[in-house]
Every structure is written in C-alpha cells, then in structure tokens.
C-alpha cells in the first residue's frame, strides 16, 4: 500500500503527461504482482468499491479525536477524507502497513457491517499518505489526473508493446492482470481473445490540407459527413454486448439503449448521437449522458441515443479489417439491410464528381450535427491508429469573435510561472445601461511561446486585483477567439458556452471598445 | 504561592510583549528602547531597536540582515547564562527553531515565565536542540496549532526529494525554502542522506549559508544558481526563497520541478494553490503534538498563545484544566513560508 499511496500522492501533484507516464512506468516496474495489477485496476476504474464513507468516517474519527478539534481542522483543510487522513492519531509502535492486495481482497468479501472496524484497523497501520490513498480507493474516486488510457500508455512505454495491442486484449482480462504483466514483461504469451467482446483500436483520420484536397477525386475516395457526436465501437460477440469509446473505455453501462438490439456476431464503427425525431441534438445533450456509470429511465427517454454507422470490422468470426473500405461498406450495407437493429442507421455517402462540387455542397450544409466531411480512400484497409494517406477530415472553418481579456490565471507545470489561462468577455448593456463585460469563454492555447511571454508581461503590468493564482486585468486587450460552435448554457453568466475556443490572434492594435457584443455570439447559436 | 496576576507585569502594548519590572520588550515591532530578540527571522528581529539582548548568532543575523537598522547597542548572552535586567532575571535557552534561536525565561519575585519564541522539538543538525524549561506561565507560539499538523520525519521527506531527483534526472529540482534556517537544515539533511553534489543557491540564500558556516555548520559544496548555465543546472538541486520558485526567476532553470519545504505542505490545497509539484513537509515549528506535549511538560498553570491558530490550542488547554489566553500580536499569521 505504501508504494501505491506514494504513487497516487505524486501523481496528484504532477501536471505533465510525460512525468505521469514515468511515475506510472516506474511503479509497474518495481511493484510485484498482484499489487501492481490491483493498482492498474484502480487507475483504470476497474475496482468498484464506492463505499459511502462520509458517515462512517465522521463516527470513527470523533471516537478518537475531540469533535471540536476535528471540526476546526475540517474547516481549515476543506475536505473530510483528507482531514481524517491527517488527523488520525498514528499508532504508537508503527505496525506493518497492510498490502494493497490484502485490502482489496478483504473489501471484496466483507459484509457492510464490518467495514468501520476494518477501516479503523487499516487507518491505525498506515501513515497519513497511506490513509489518504486508502480513503480514495474505498470511495472509488482516485481523481489524480490520470485517465485509463494514460495508464495503458504507460504500460506500453514501459514494455515496448504497442498501445493498440494492449487495448485489443484489455477487455478480455481481469484484475489483478497477472497474465497481462507476464506478457508485457516477456515472461508469458499474449493473452488469448476468443470468446470475449473486446475493443479493437479505431482507425483515425488526418486533417486535410489544401494541396491534398486538390488531389482528391471520386475514383479513389468516398465522401461522407462527419457527425458531431463521439466515435464509438459497438460489439456483440460470444453473448456479450459492449460499447467502447474511442479510447477503449467500456461505456456500455451508460448506453444500454443503443446496444440492446444488436444481433450476435458483429463489431461496428460509428458515431454516437442523441437523436430526436430523426434530428441530431446538440453535442451538449450527448455530454449529459457521458461520464456516467449507469443511466436513469428518465434520461433514456429524454435523451435517446443512436449510432450512425460508418464501418464494420467483424461479421461473425470473419475479420473484415484487411478488406478495402469499399468492400467493408458494401458488407455493412447488406448486413444493415438484413438486420436493421433499432437505434442505428447508416451514415449516408455523398455523391460528388469534383472537389469543387464537394466544396459547394459542404458550404451549403447547415444541418445541425454535422461537424465536417470525411474523405476515405476506397482501397484502405481498417488500420489501427492514425495511418497516413488513408482517411482525411475536412472541418468547417472556425467561427471567430473579438473578445476582451478579463482574467488571467497561472498555468501548471512548465507554465506555472506564466499567466497562461485566459478568461475573456464580450460587451453587453449593464443594469445601469452602461456597457459591461460578461465572460464568454476561457482558453489556454493558440498562441506561441513568444506571445505567451508578451502576454505575461502585459498582464503583470495591467493587473487590477489578484485572487490567489488569478489576476483581474484592465479591460484593454483584445483577442480574436476562434471556436467551433456556440451552445446555450445555464451554467455560465452569459448564457452561452463555446466549443473548443482558442486564441487565434492577439489584437494588440484593437481598442477594447470595438470588441464584439454578446448579441453577436447569441446570433451564432445553433438550434 | 500565589503570584501577582501575570498580566500585571507582562503586558502587550503598541510595540508588542512588554516586561514592566525589566523595562524591555520581547521581539517587539521596530524601534524599541530595549528588546530581547528570540531569533533572527524578520518578524521577530525587527529594525531600529536602540538596545538588543540576544544570542551571539541572532545578533550576527540581525547585523547581516538589518545593516544600518541593526540595534545601536547589543548584549550577547550564552544559553543558560543568567543576567539581571531591572528587577528581573533573564536566561536564554535553546528553542531548536533556527541557529541561535532562544526561549526567554523571565524570573520575577519567584515566578517563572517562559516566552517560547518559535520552537521545534524534532532533530535539526544545524542548531542546538530544544531544552524544556519548567515555568508557571508559558507563552507559546501556535503556527501549526491544529491536530492535522503532524510533521513526521524530515529524513523521509528528504528521501522523497532524492527519489524524485533520481526519477527525473534531467529536471532541475528547485526547492522553495526560507532563507534563514530552513535552507541550511535542508542542505544538512541532504548531506546526511549522502547527497554530495554541489547544491545551487538563489542569491538571497547565500548570505545566511555563509553565516551558518562561520558558526561551524558544515554545508558542503554550495554554488550560486545565478550566472550558472542552463546546461550546468540540468538535474541539479537548487534552493530558492519560496517567492521565487514559481515566478520569473525560475525560468532560467532547465525544465524546473517545483518543490517546497514547509509545514504547510501537509495540506493539499496549500500545495496546489502554490503550484507545487513536490511538497515536502519539513517544518521548523512545533507541530500539534509538540505544542501540546510541551505545554504539559512545562508544568505551567497558565498558557498564553501568540501567533497562529490559537482557537484550537485554547480549546485543548481548557480541556487540560489550565488557563489559556490569546495574545494578539499582529503580523505573524503565516510563518514557516
């Protein structure tokens, strides 16, 4: 437990992706089975304790610590679990800390009534970092800034086995992953896949540039819309129905509606959407169903999910991935014709004879739910990752507005000495009738390192007030902000939220009074 | 024995804590007539006093740091040396906080009052260890007076720094550490752990390190960080004042990893607020256990609590049957930075 606690502690303070990978790889290299496998499960959300500890913790701690002192401490620290971890009286003679595997094993079989006594015993034997990590583990919310995919990437870097290979076997394995570690460290065979619906790494596209665009013709390429949802893989194999996100996370629990009518023996690639009366709902609607373990009946009804199919990877036991896209597409069409599972349809192909025609079509397409255009080579096999020269995406030119810098916040990691996160606003009429700025978005990229230095200097010289790591600045600097779309949002004072805002230009020359008004953004709302 | 009420002869005035029968202040604000100074930190050793009594080390720190604002005249005393001032006897005892730090024992009419100044009881190779002084009135600091503060083993924290240094051998590890005391203690801890490479210093720390060395504290190979090339600083341990670690100064360092040695680092929100990547819980102040145990061991019937989180400590004092009182001395809320 000590090594796992030290890892979580370190990860929670480490902003850089590469540094996190190093910390994870070092941990996997130096920790024996089965502890490392259980840590892997915890980091990839594979352990579901989620014990409601709040009440238990308060009862336990106040039996050992003066309640007044606990309450004062809780107010200062700001978090109950952290306070308990810090305030818990350390045992007199430091007992041997429990192993992660012993904790997990015990929790998996312990009756709920025994949890408080077990917890107290472990808290006695751990140091404050260990206690903090234990409570995180038991409540099922590690929140140390590490995604399942990043953890798998660390395994790939540590073992030199391609990430796609690890992802492909992942869902066939169970904690504590001893078979996986044996394979990754060269001491065992690749785990067998038969009999499981597992994730197959997706094929991704490149942004097209003008030169490449000119070389595209209908003989070699097929065009289709790029829908504004999330890419998914739906599988029904060996009696298991699964839905995987683009990064291989199993999201079946949150979307039972789209996979329940999938027939046996198929792996499909498509876009997950919320569809009402045949129309694609805004991306925001989909977001409300993401990042959940399960879904309520009300949500299933109000936010019906749907998969618009792009491709087929398996039919029965046959792996279609080596076949050309045009053949796979024909197989997909025939299959869909035969089965027509509910809550699915085919992404239709776009007829075109030249790029110019495509461009006209494309610029005329104002239907919601279209994020761009896909151009796929007819003869491309289905290749894992982002192979060059096969699939292209052609995104709509971004929208822009001129907004005024209002607040700047220090960045993290390499940028921690710079004010690099910017909140900007648009003008509107205040209650008194005088114009006022209302925040409309936040962004921390789009500028060069040189520009960042200049911005940092400007912010330090134009600060009105500081709140911890945030500075309010004089409303004098204009940013041209590019973004993909605007949505209604009740969470923001302005009532709108931008999708993917980035700083496209710093308008050192433009007077702030000439920046855009909120109405300009409201007019861009898609409905 | 029923002494006169303590507050009839120890009072708080505009300049701070004042001993009436001795005619002196302890750690007063600037420009006092007669001052006893517990240690050299700037919130205790202030400029412009006419006369100061302190240990030789503290007087040396004041002279170095205050220059022309150092006391006009001074009296140097050794630990344990009893001196008479007016109607009282004053003796300084080691406080274990930083080099030269002292507790002040004041005896008047058979009554013993101890002003702790800042203190700690855990080991520190760079200064004399805390000595317990039995007394009737104990005036204690309370910087970390919440039971969540348990500082733990500074050696383990040093090991954490060295482990990170091995894991990220190309990153300069810049450690925020207070210039007087913390820096030298951290250097000594690193040396104890076997780290013998040069340690690089921000300019503001050099003077205090030289002063410690002049008093016989061995710190090993120290080099200025200012002026060293980026290449040279790659993978080195660099010490800087806390204000410099995440600000423009640190940009000269190659891919800096920000660490901070302070008792406050025990609380995650504090570390995160300051963008610290590697918090090191190393404190020169007493933690909750040391505060409460020291109060009990002094045998004091009354305890006055100076700067810090006095509410929790006063609650604790009340539960032990002693009389407690908060002594409001402004300007010392956030020590151990």
Q: How far is CA B292 from CA A248, B154, B295, in A?
A: 53, 20, 5
Q: Does B116 map to a domain?
A: yes
Phi, psi of B261 (to 5 degrees): -100, 105
Q: Higher-confidence residue: B75 or A209? A: B75
How confident is the model over A222-248, as a mean pLDDT? Answer: 91
Contact A95, A124 (CB under 8 A): yes
Do B216 and B309 reside in the same domain of the chain?
no
pLDDT in tens, A10-19: 999 999 999 9
Look at B269 and A77 and tell me if their CB atoms are within 8 Å.
yes
Which of A64, A76, A144, A471 is best to mutate for the B interface (most B CBs within 10 A)? A76
How confident is the model over A404-431, as a mean pLDDT? Answer: 90
Look at B147 and A65 and tell me if their CB atoms are within 8 Å.
yes
Look at B148 and A469 and tell me if their CB atoms are within 8 Å.
no
Distance CA A264, CA A64 (A): 57
Q: Which residue of A has its CA nearest to B277?
A: A13
Q: Which domain holds residue B134?
A: 6-148+285-326
Q: Does B335 map to a domain?
A: no
B216-246: burial string, b at 16+ Cβ within 10 Å, e else: ebebeebbebeebeeeebebbbbbbbbebbb
Distance CA B74, CA B40 (A): 14
Confidence of residue A230 (pLDDT cuts 50, 70, 90): very high
Q: Higher-confidence residue: B243 or B216? A: B216
Q: Which residue of B has its CA nearest to A71?
A: B312
Do B108 and B199 reside in the same domain of the chain?
no
Phi, psi of A74 (to 5 degrees): -60, -40
Q: What percent of chain A has pLDDT over 70?
A: 97
- CB-based burial of residue B313 (10 Å sphere; 0-12 exposed, 13-18 middle, 19+ buried)? buried
* Residue A97 three-state SS: coil
Side-chain-side CA neighbours of residue B58 (13 Å): 35
How confident is the model over B156-170, as a mean pLDDT? Answer: 96
Do B170 and B254 reside in the same domain of the chain?
yes
Asked whether the predicted pLDDT for residue B184 surpasses 60, the reply is yes
Contact B240, B208 (CB under 8 A): no
How confident is the model over B71-97, as a mean pLDDT? Answer: 97
Do A363 and A429 reside in the same domain of the chain?
no
Contacts of A410 (CB under 8 A, 6+ apart): A416, A417, A418, A419, A420, A421, A469, A470, B246, B275
**What are B29's two structure tokens?**
């604000």
CB-CB neighbours of A186 under 10 Å: 9
Look at B148 and A76 and tell me if their CB atoms are within 8 Å.
yes
Q: What percent of chain B has pLDDT over 70?
A: 96
Asked whether the predicted pLDDT for residue B276 surpasses 90, the reply is yes
Which range of A401-410, B250-259, B305-314 scores highest in mean pLDDT? It is A401-410
Confidence of residue A469 (pLDDT cuts 50, 70, 90): confident
Confidence of residue B309 (pLDDT cuts 50, 70, 90): confident
Distance CA A250, CA A237 (A): 15
Instruction: Please report the beta strands in A316-390, taking only residues with DSSP state E, as ranges in sequence order.
Output: 318-319, 344-346, 349-350, 370-377
Q: Three-class SS string for A225-251?
A: EEECCEEEEEEEECCEEEEEECCCCEC
**Catalytically annotated residue among A136, A226, A293, A376:** A226
One DSSP character per residue, A262-290 reads: PPSSEEEEEEEEEEETTEEPPHHHHHTTS
Look at B250 and A12 and tell me if their CB atoms are within 8 Å.
no
Q: What is the widest separation between alpha-carbon atoms in chain B?
A: 69
Which of B144, B145, B148, B155 is best to mutate for the A interface (most A CBs within 10 A)? B148
Do A366 and A513 reside in the same domain of the chain?
no
* Residue A467 three-state SS: strand
Out of B167, B271, B312, the one facing A26 most closely (by C-beta) is: B167
Out of B146, B250, B255, the one facing A72 most closely (by C-beta) is: B146
Look at A66 and B247 and tell me if their CB atoms are within 8 Å.
no
Do A216 and A312 reside in the same domain of the chain?
yes
Distance CA B101, CA A8 (A): 38
Q: Which residue of A has its CA nearest to B147?
A: A87
> CATH code at B71?
3.60.15.10
Alpha helices, DSSP H, located in A350-448: 355-364
Q: Does A501 map to a domain?
A: yes
pLDDT in tens, A302-337: 999 999 999 999 999 899 999 999 999 999 999 999
Do B159 and B272 reside in the same domain of the chain?
yes
> CATH code at A479?
2.40.50.140
Do A426 and A352 reside in the same domain of the chain?
no
Asked whether the predicted pLDDT for residue B183 surpasses 80, the reply is yes
Do B141 and B35 reside in the same domain of the chain?
yes
- How many structural domains are present in chain B? 2
Q: Which residue of A has its CA nearest to B256?
A: A414
Out of B268, B273, B312, the one facing A468 most closely (by C-beta) is: B273
Could you tell me which of A48, A42, A39, A45 has the C-alpha nearest to residue A181?
A39
Q: Which domain holds residue A479?
A: 399-522
B293 in A contact zone (CB under 8 Å):
no
Q: Does A458 map to a domain?
A: yes
Contact A66, A161 (CB under 8 A): no
How confident is the model over A46-67, as a mean pLDDT? Answer: 85
Task: Flag the least confident range among A168-177, A305-314, B228-237.
Answer: A168-177
Q: Which residues of B touch A129 (CB under 8 A)?
A: none
**Last residue of a domain, which of A395, A425, A445?**
A395
Contact A349, A222 (CB under 8 A): yes
Do B168 and B128 reside in the same domain of the chain?
no
Q: Does B332 map to a domain?
A: no
Q: Which residues of B touch A469 (CB under 8 A)?
A: 273, 275
Distance CA A54, CA A56 (A): 6
Positive/negative CA dihedral, B112, B117, B122, B124:
negative
B151-172: burial string, b at 16+ Cβ within 10 Å, e else: bbebeebbebbbebbeebeebb
Q: Which residue of A has its CA nearest to B287?
A: A87
Distance CA B209, CA B240 (A): 12
Do A418 and A300 reside in the same domain of the chain?
no
| CA-derived radius of gyration, chain A | 27
**What are A216's two structure tokens?**
């595209």
Contact A119, A110 (CB under 8 A): no
**What are A273's two structure tokens?**
């959407």
Contact B39, B284 (CB under 8 A): no
Do A336 and A405 reside in the same domain of the chain?
no
Mean pLDDT, chain A, rounded, equals 90
Look at A76 and B278 and tell me if their CB atoms are within 8 Å.
no
B146 in A contact zone (CB under 8 Å):
yes
**What are A455's two structure tokens?**
């911005």
Q: Does A168 map to a domain?
A: no
Task: Flag the least confident range among A29-43, A353-367, B87-101.
Answer: A353-367
Confidence of residue A368 (pLDDT cuts 50, 70, 90): low
Look at A417 and B268 and tell me if their CB atoms are within 8 Å.
no
CB-CB neighbours of A261 under 10 Å: 14
Asked whether the predicted pLDDT for residue B334 surpasses 80, the reply is no
Out of A14, A76, A79, the one facing B277 most closely (by C-beta) is: A14
How confident is the model over B137-151, as a mean pLDDT? Answer: 95
Q: What is the pLDDT of residue B1?
A: 42
Do A351 and A404 reside in the same domain of the chain?
no
**What are A367's two structure tokens?**
């239907």
Q: What is the pLDDT of residue A342?
A: 94
Asked whether the predicted pLDDT for residue A358 surpasses 90, the reply is no
CA B298 to chain centre: 20
Let me know the angle formed at the C-alpha of B189 by B183 and B194, rounded to the nearest 5 degrees: 130
Q: Which residues of A touch B268 (CB under 8 A)?
A: 12, 79, 82
How confident is the model over B64-91, as a mean pLDDT? Answer: 96
Contacts of A213 (CB under 8 A, 6+ apart): A355, A394
Do B41 and B68 reside in the same domain of the chain?
yes
Confidence of residue A288 (pLDDT cuts 50, 70, 90): confident
Do A322 and A426 reside in the same domain of the chain?
no
Do A20 and A103 reside in the same domain of the chain?
yes
Asked whether the predicted pLDDT for residue B331 surpasses 50, the reply is no
How confident is the model over A469-492, as a mean pLDDT? Answer: 89
How confident is the model over A77-106, as a mean pLDDT? Answer: 87
* Residue A17 three-state SS: helix
Which of A8, A12, A17, A19 is best to mutate for the B interface (most B CBs within 10 A)? A19
Look at B309 and A76 and tell me if their CB atoms are within 8 Å.
yes
Distance CA A360, CA A348 (A): 18
Distance CA A233, CA A168 (A): 12
- What residues of chain A have any CB closer than 8 angstroms to a CB in chain B? 6, 10, 12-15, 19, 22-23, 26, 65-66, 68-70, 72-73, 76-79, 82-83, 86-87, 90, 127-128, 410, 412-414, 416-417, 468-469
**What are A444's two structure tokens?**
């921390």
Q: Which residue of A has its CA nearest to B250?
A: A417
Contact B3, B109 (CB under 8 A): yes
Q: Does B336 map to a domain?
A: no
Let me know the angle formed at the C-alpha of A420 by A417 and A425, rounded to the nearest 5 degrees: 145
Asked whether the predicted pLDDT for residue B2 surpasses 50, the reply is no
Q: What is the pLDDT of residue B332?
A: 47
B283 in A contact zone (CB under 8 Å):
no
* Residue B85 three-state SS: strand
Contacts of B254 (CB under 8 A, 6+ apart): B170, B171, B172, B230, B231, B233, B234
Do B32 and B144 reside in the same domain of the chain?
yes
Contacts of B227 (CB under 8 A, 6+ apart): none
Q: What is the pLDDT of residue A114?
A: 92
Q: Which residue of A has its CA nearest to B170?
A: A19
Look at B168 and A19 and tell me if their CB atoms are within 8 Å.
yes
How confident is the model over B93-113, as a mean pLDDT? Answer: 97
Helices A115-125, A100-109: axis angle to 10 degrees equals 170
pLDDT in tens, A124-148: 999 999 999 999 999 877 889 898 8
Confidence of residue B333 (pLDDT cuts 50, 70, 90): very low
Which of B240, B246, B275 is best to mutate for the A interface (most A CBs within 10 A)? B275
- CB-based burial of residue A113 (10 Å sphere; 0-12 exposed, 13-18 middle, 19+ buried)? exposed
Q: Does B337 map to a domain?
A: no
Look at B146 and A128 and tell me if their CB atoms are within 8 Å.
no
Contact A2, A132 (CB under 8 A): no
Do A368 and A405 reside in the same domain of the chain?
no
> CATH code at A239?
3.30.470.30
Look at B269 and A416 and tell me if their CB atoms are within 8 Å.
no
Q: What is the pLDDT of residue A49?
A: 72
**Last residue of a domain, which of A139, A167, A190?**
A139
Contact A12, A144 (CB under 8 A): yes
Asked whether the predicted pLDDT for residue B337 surpasses 60, the reply is no
Do B158 and B119 reside in the same domain of the chain?
no
* Residue A355 three-state SS: helix
**Last residue of a domain, which of A367, A395, A423?**
A395
Look at B147 and A76 and tell me if their CB atoms are within 8 Å.
no
- How many structural domains are present in chain A? 3
Out of A26, A72, A417, the one facing B312 most closely (by C-beta) is: A72
* Residue B54 three-state SS: strand
pLDDT in tens, A494-519: 999 898 899 989 999 888 999 999 99
Q: Does A167 map to a domain?
A: no
> CATH code at B210?
3.40.50.12650
Distance CA B31, CA A169 (A): 75
* Residue A318 three-state SS: strand
Q: Which residue of B has its CA nearest to A78?
A: B269
Q: How many contacts, defined by CB atoms under 8 Å, are there between A and B?
A: 79
How confident is the model over A26-41, as a mean pLDDT? Answer: 96
Q: Which residues of A touch B283 (CB under 8 A)?
A: none
Do A230 and A374 reside in the same domain of the chain?
yes
Look at B248 and A78 and tell me if their CB atoms are within 8 Å.
no
Q: Which residues of A touch B275 (CB under 8 A)?
A: 410, 412, 416, 469
Examine the residue annotation and report whether A226 is marked as an active-site residue of this protein.
yes
Out of A87, A413, A469, the one facing B148 most closely (by C-beta) is: A87
Residue identified by tokens 């610590």 is: A65
Asked whether the predicted pLDDT for residue A55 surpasses 70, the reply is yes
Instruction: State the pTM of this model.
Output: 0.81
How confident is the model over B78-103, as a mean pLDDT? Answer: 97
Contact A361, A352 (CB under 8 A): yes
* Residue B144 three-state SS: coil
Residues 263-282 of B with CB under 8 A from A: 266-269, 271-273, 275-279
């Amino acid at each position: 437990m000590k090594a796992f606690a030290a890892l979580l502690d370190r990860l929670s303070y480490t902003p850089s992706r590469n540094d996190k990978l190093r910390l994870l790889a070092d941990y996997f290299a130096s920790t024996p089975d089965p502890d490392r496998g259980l840590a892997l499960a915890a980091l990839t959300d594979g352990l579901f304790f989620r014990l409601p500890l709040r009440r238990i913790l308060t009862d336990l701690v106040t039996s050992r610590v003066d309640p007044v002192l606990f309450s004062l401490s809780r107010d200062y620290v700001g978090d109950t679990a952290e306070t308990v971890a810090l305030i818990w009286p350390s045992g007199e003679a430091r007992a041997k800390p429990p192993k992660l595997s012993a904790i997990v094993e015990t929790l998996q079989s312990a009756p709920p009534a025994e949890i408080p006594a077990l917890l107290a015993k472990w808290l006695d034997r751990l140091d404050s970092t260990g206690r903090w990590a234990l409570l995180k583990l038991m409540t099922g919310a590690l929140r140390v800034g590490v995604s399942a995919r990043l953890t798998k990437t660390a395994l790939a870097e540590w073992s030199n086995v391609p990430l796609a290979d690890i992802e492909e076997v992942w869902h066939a394995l169970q904690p504590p992953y001893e078979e996986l570690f044996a394979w990754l460290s060269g001491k065992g065979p690749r785990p067998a896949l038969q009999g499981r619906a597992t994730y197959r790494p997706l094929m991704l596209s490149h942004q097209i540039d003008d030169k490449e665009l000119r070389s595209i013709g209908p003989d070699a390429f097929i065009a289709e819309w790029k829908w504004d949802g999330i890419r998914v893989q739906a599988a029904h194999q060996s009696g298991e129905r699964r839905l995987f996100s683009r990064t291989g996370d199993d999201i079946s629990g949150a979307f039972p509606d789209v996979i329940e009518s999938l027939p046996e023996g198929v792996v499909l690639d498509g876009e997950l959407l919320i569809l009402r009366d045949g129309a694609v709902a805004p991306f925001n609607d989909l977001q409300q169903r993401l990042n959940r373990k399960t879904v309520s009946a009300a949500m299933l009804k109000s936010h019906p999910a749907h998969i618009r199919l792009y491709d087929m990877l398996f039919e029965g036991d046959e792996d279609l991935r080596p076949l050309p896209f045009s053949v796979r597409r024909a197989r997909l069409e025939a299959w869909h014709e035969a089965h027509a599972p509910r809550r699915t349809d085919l992404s239709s192909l776009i007829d075109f004879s030249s790029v110019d025609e495509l461009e006209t079509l494309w610029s005329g397409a104002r239907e919601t739910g279209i994020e761009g255009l896909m151009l796929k080579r007819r003869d491309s096999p289905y290749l894992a990752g982002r192979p060059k020269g096969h699939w292209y995406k052609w995104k709509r030119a971004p929208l822009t507005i001129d907004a005024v810098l209002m607040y700047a916040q220090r960045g993290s990691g390499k940028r921690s000495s710079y004010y690099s996160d910017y909140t900007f606003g648009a003008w509107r009429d205040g209650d008194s009738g005088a114009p006022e700025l209302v925040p409309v978005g936040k962004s921390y990229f789009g500028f060069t390192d040189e520009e960042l230095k200049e911005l940092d200097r400007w912010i330090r010289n134009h600060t009105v007030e500081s709140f911890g790591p945030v500075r309010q600045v004089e409303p004098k600097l204009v940013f041209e902000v590019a973004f993909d779309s605007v949505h209604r949002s009740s969470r923001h004072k302005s009532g709108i939220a931008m999708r993917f805002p980035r700083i496209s230009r710093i308008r050192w020359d433009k007077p702030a009074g000439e920046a855009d008004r909120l109405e300009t953004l409201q007019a861009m709302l898609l409905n | 024995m029923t002494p006169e009420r303590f507050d009839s002869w120890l009072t708080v005035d505009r300049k701070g804590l004042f001993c009436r029968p001795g005619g002196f202040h302890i750690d007063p604000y600037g420009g006092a007539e007669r001052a006893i100074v517990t240690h050299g930190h700037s919130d205790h050793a202030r400029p412009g006093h006419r006369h100061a009594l302190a240990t030789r080390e503290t007087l040396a720190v004041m002279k170095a740091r205050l220059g022309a604002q150092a006391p006009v005249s001074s009296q140097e005393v050794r630990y344990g040396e009893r001196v008479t001032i007016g109607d009282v006897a004053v003796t300084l005892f080691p406080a274990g906080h930083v080099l030269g730090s002292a507790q002040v024992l004041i005896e008047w009419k058979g009554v013993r009052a101890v002003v702790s100044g800042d203190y700690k009881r855990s080991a520190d190779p760079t200064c004399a260890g805390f000595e317990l002084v039995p007394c009737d009135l104990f005036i204690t600091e309370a910087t970390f007076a919440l039971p969540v503060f348990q500082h733990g083993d500074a050696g383990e924290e040093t090991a954490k720094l060295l482990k990170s240094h091995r894991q990220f051998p190309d990153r300069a590890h810049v450690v925020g550490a207070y210039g007087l005391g913390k820096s030298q203690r951290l250097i000594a801890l690193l040396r104890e752990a076997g780290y013998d490479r040069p340690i690089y210093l921000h300019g503001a720390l050099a003077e205090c390190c030289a002063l410690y060395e002049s008093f016989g504290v061995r710190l090993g190979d120290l080099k200025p960080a200012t002026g060293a090339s980026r290449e040279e600083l790659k993978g080195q341990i660099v010490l800087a004042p806390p204000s410099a670690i995440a600000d423009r100064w640190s940009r000269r360092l190659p891919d800096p990893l920000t660490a901070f040695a302070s008792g406050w680092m025990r609380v995650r929100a504090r570390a995160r607020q300051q963008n610290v990547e590697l918090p090191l819980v190393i404190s020169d102040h007493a933690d909750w256990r040391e505060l409460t145990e020291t109060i009990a061991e002094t045998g004091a019937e009354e305890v006055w609590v100076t700067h810090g989180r006095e509410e929790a400590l006063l609650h604790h004092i009340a539960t032990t049957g002693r009389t407690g009182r908060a002594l409001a001395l402004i300007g010392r809320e956030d020590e151990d930075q």
